[in-house]
Structure 1
Amino acid sequence: MAGQDRMTIVEVVRQVLRDEHADVIRESVKAVAQELMEAEVSELIGAQRGERTEDRATHRNGYRPRRWDTRAGEIELQIPKIRQGSYFPSFLQPRKRSEQALVAVVQQAYVCGVSTRRVDQLVESLGLRISKSEVSRIAGLLDEQVQAFRQRPLEGRYPYLFVDAKIEKVRDGGRVQRKAVVVAHAVHETGRREIIGLDIGAAETEAFWTEFLRSLVARGLLGVQLAISDAHEGLKNALAKVLGAPWQRCTVHFLRDLRGHAHREQHDALGALIRSIFTAPDGTEARKRLADAVSQLEPRLGKVARLLEQAEDDVLAFYSCPKEHWPKIRSTNPLERFNREIGRRTDVVGIFPDDASVIRLVSMLAIEANDEWLVGRSYISQKSMTPLFQSQDQTTITTNNQEEVEELLAA
């Protein structure tokens, strides 16, 4: 029995899966319900879909739509039809609590990980006679959605790449460990933003970051002209090794680090001085302001002055990009907002049972975010993105022409 200071799974589900998650839960319930109907019809006619057998009682005969109002919202079911007799899903029978059980099991799977045992309990509550293998297949449906999202090919070019990590508590090997959930957020050449990858690792090592970035490249990531992240040495080295693109140190994190070396009463003045560098009208003026800031800080905040001077190239890299893009590419703020959204959900769960459950929750949030960005306004106007690729395209044309000339001469 849960103590007064502990939440039951139902309470966790209700708190994590509020209205923001209605679409995810609805689609998951729909997918599981469809598989349950297919399994039930296969049991009724004595054959799986597409299976040839002499013992079958009848054949399938298409589908008919039916609206189903659930706690997760309205669902459009496709109920299988059969040529002889009739079929009606058992979980739609009057006075059955099956719909509640179906929604509950999907919610639990969403928060705590897909469990064959939980789905098996659901099947039993529905009064279905389905094999253990069928139960396992149905349980895997939710993970298939996540897997498809994480392995989808990346098409087109992504000039701006934001990378960050968030620490979560996960049970592993009988102990609770702090693991890094890493997320890659990018701006497509069309100007829309997109979460292109996520993973979880034991620590933010260079080897882990290298493997993660290589997985993005293997899926089609190309055209990166600026990588934006915090000043994690392993990540910085991995970005240089895998992508070879210029690196922009997050200006928000940088200012936060500088404040850590100053007294609290100095924070406001230091912030105003540093922010003036990042709002300069051009790169030349920014470097002049940075030099002036170093001179002003040297007498009283010598360490801050040295850190600022050493970071000059890293914090001003964004000035080489189109001016319209500067406010949106000088920090990891877009990804920070997404991380806060993750935290709002994961704080309720507290400790995750395994890595897969973390991936599942973050992936579902990422799918929702991508859907919203796809139909919303572009993060950066597509017109302003054109200059980023003009020099690249010209170089490609010149190289191709040179190759054609060399081929003609060789002939």
Structure 2
Amino acid sequence: MAQYQVTVDGEVLQQLFVRDDALARLVEQVVNQVLEAQVTEQLKAGPYERTDERQGYRNGHRERSLTTRIGRLTLEVPRTRAGKFSTDLFERYQRSEQALILALMEMVINGVSTRKVRSVVEELCGTELSRSTVSDLCKRLDPVVREWNERDLSDREYPFVVVDALVIKVRKGGRVRVQSVLLAAGINREGYREILGLMIGDSESEASWSEFFGRLKARGLRGVDMVVSDEHKGLVKAIMSHFQGATWQRCQTHFMRNILEVCPKALQKRLHSRLRYIFDAPDIETARRLKDEVAQEFGAQAPRAIERLEAGFEDAMGVMALPESIRRRLRTTNGIERLNREVRRRERVVGIFPNEEAAQRLIGAVVMEIDEEWTTGHKYLDMTEYWAWRQGLSRKGDEKREGEMHSEAA
């Protein structure tokens, strides 16, 4: 495969994280230089070069537009007098652009170190950049991430909130410390998912979660009807404190794992199958009946597993009060799992973050990217039945209060 030496204007590189179209302009420069290199290769001579090996002459350029995932590029395709210049770049571009974009974006969002960032930039630009210059480029993201993470949430309601956390390692005070990244996603009244925010805390303690929820509420989070999470004690206490009146839905996936981990191995497959029937039940009455049958069947052989099932059953079945059409996507934290996987994929490249700011920058950039996909993509839930159900509950409440008032008057 041919290799080409390209040079990128420093001004374009500096605008990479400032202008919306900067990445497209950068790629445009690179591709145009590749086209010039290819015509030189085919003609066996550069512009105005005197050589016995020359196999033709240039004849200006023709403009061609190329639509890509990063925007429309305007390319100057070389022409030759014989009209024989050809390039396979356009055919290969859709496959190669992702690799090129990743090479560019690795400078900041793929978790590479400052030294590696400098190497990538030097290779692209052919110039040496200082450590401070590279750090300045990285920190251009900080205000963008901060603005997104502090944006106003008060312009709409978020009936459903899903929260989760993942553990990272960060260097602090000369030591490597374990910290928790707290994440919250919301489903707004129209049914679209949004990532509400993130916070890096010292642990998954009640205090950390309370601080995180306090920040979300201060930004305007309201209208929460249900919070979905695992059963971490500090987290559950913070949910109960900050979202009084909302239902806590214990993640059924985590709940099932908790049950099976204390079940004898020989019984795990059979119990797993029975638990699935419980969670897939059409209504709470059927689910309770199936749960009682499972308790009777496995009680003697797997007492600890059944004890956990009995203790956590009601918290894991909170979604049964909702319309059936939206239950499946609200009964677990699986909807936020992809977010965690994307963060983890970048985090593995780093291993240990050099500081908390670097962690906030990288994770924030990844999360913002996914949030944009969610908010501009398809609806996550059809909320029609939900709002009809809520309206029905409201009417029943009004009728009940009216009946009580008549009784008191009598």
Shorter-chain TM range is 0.5 to 0.7
SS of the residue corresponding to residue 221 of structure 1 reads coil
Matched residue type, 1:274: L
Conservation of the 8 A alpha-carbon contact between 1:28 and 1:106: no
Cα deviation for residue 388 of structure 1 reads: 5.2
Conservation of the 8 A alpha-carbon contact between 1:112 and 1:353: no
Cα deviation for residue 166 of structure 1 reads: 0.5
Cα deviation for residue 386 of structure 1 reads: 1.7
Identity %: 31
Residue 384 of structure 2: aligned partner:
383
Residue 69 of structure 1: aligned partner:
28
CA-to-partner distance for each residue in 1:121-166, whole Å, 9 max, x for gaps? Answer: x99x999xxxx9x999876431111011100111311111111110
Structure 2: runs of 5+ lacking an equivalent: 1-11, 32-67, 74-101, 400-410
Residue 148 of structure 2: aligned partner:
149
Residue 30 of structure 1: aligned partner:
16
Cα deviation for residue 384 of structure 1 reads: 2.8
Cα deviation for residue 250 of structure 1 reads: 0.6
Conservation of the 8 A alpha-carbon contact between 1:160 and 1:186: yes
Residue 260 of structure 2: aligned partner:
259
Residue 178 of structure 1: aligned partner:
178
| Structure 1 stretch displaced more, 388-397 or 145-154 | 388-397
Residue 100 of structure 1: aligned partner:
none
**Greater Rg over alpha carbons, structure:** 2
**RMSD of aligned alpha carbons:** 4.0
Cα deviation for residue 284 of structure 1 reads: 1.2
Residue 250 of structure 1: aligned partner:
251
Residue 200 of structure 2: aligned partner:
200
Tell me, in whole angstroms, the C-alpha distance in 2 between the residues paired with 1:385 and 1:71.
51
Tell me, in whole angstroms, the C-alpha distance in 2 between the residues paired with 1:284 and 1:27.
62
Matched residue type, 2:369: E
Tell me, in whole angstroms, the C-alpha distance in 2 between the residues paired with 1:295 and 1:70.
71
| 1:139 to 1:320, Cα distance in 2 relative to 1, 3 A | same
SS of the residue corresponding to residue 17 of structure 2 reads helix
| 1:395 to 1:238, Cα distance in 2 relative to 1, 3 A | farther
Instruction: List structure 1 runs of 4+ shifted beyond 3 angstroms.
Output: 26-29, 31-34, 65-68, 70-77, 103-115, 134-140, 391-398
Cα deviation for residue 390 of structure 1 reads: 2.2
Cα deviation for residue 197 of structure 1 reads: 1.0
Tell me, in whole angstroms, the C-alpha distance in 2 between the residues paired with 1:363 and 1:392.
39
SS of the residue corresponding to residue 231 of structure 2 reads coil
| 1:66 to 1:195, Cα distance in 2 relative to 1, 3 A | closer
Residue 84 of structure 2: aligned partner:
none
| 1:240 to 1:71, Cα distance in 2 relative to 1, 3 A | farther
| 1:31 to 1:337, Cα distance in 2 relative to 1, 3 A | closer
CA-to-partner distance for each residue in 1:181-207, whole Å, 9 max, x for gaps? Answer: 111011111001111011111111101
Number of residues paired by the alignment?
318
Conservation of the 8 A alpha-carbon contact between 1:249 and 1:315: yes
Tell me, in whole angstroms, the C-alpha distance in 1 between the residues paired with 2:219 and 2:199.
14
TM-score (norm 2): 0.67
Cα deviation for residue 31 of structure 1 reads: 3.4
Conservation of the 8 A alpha-carbon contact between 2:111 and 2:349: no
Conservation of the 8 A alpha-carbon contact between 1:68 and 1:75: no
Tell me, in whole angstroms, the C-alpha distance in 2 between the residues paired with 1:392 and 1:205.
35
Tell me, in whole angstroms, the C-alpha distance in 2 between the residues paired with 1:68 and 1:359.
28
Tell me, in whole angstroms, the C-alpha distance in 2 between the residues paired with 1:384 and 1:256.
31
Cα deviation for residue 365 of structure 1 reads: 1.6
Alignment of 1:358-369 (within 5 A): 358-369=359-370
| 1:142 to 1:67, Cα distance in 2 relative to 1, 3 A | closer
Conservation of the 8 A alpha-carbon contact between 2:227 and 2:247: yes
Structure 1: runs of 5+ lacking an equivalent: 1-25, 37-64, 78-102, 399-411
| 1:341 to 1:110, Cα distance in 2 relative to 1, 3 A | closer
Residue 54 of structure 2: aligned partner:
none
Tell me, in whole angstroms, the C-alpha distance in 2 between the residues paired with 1:388 and 1:152.
31
Residue 233 of structure 1: aligned partner:
233
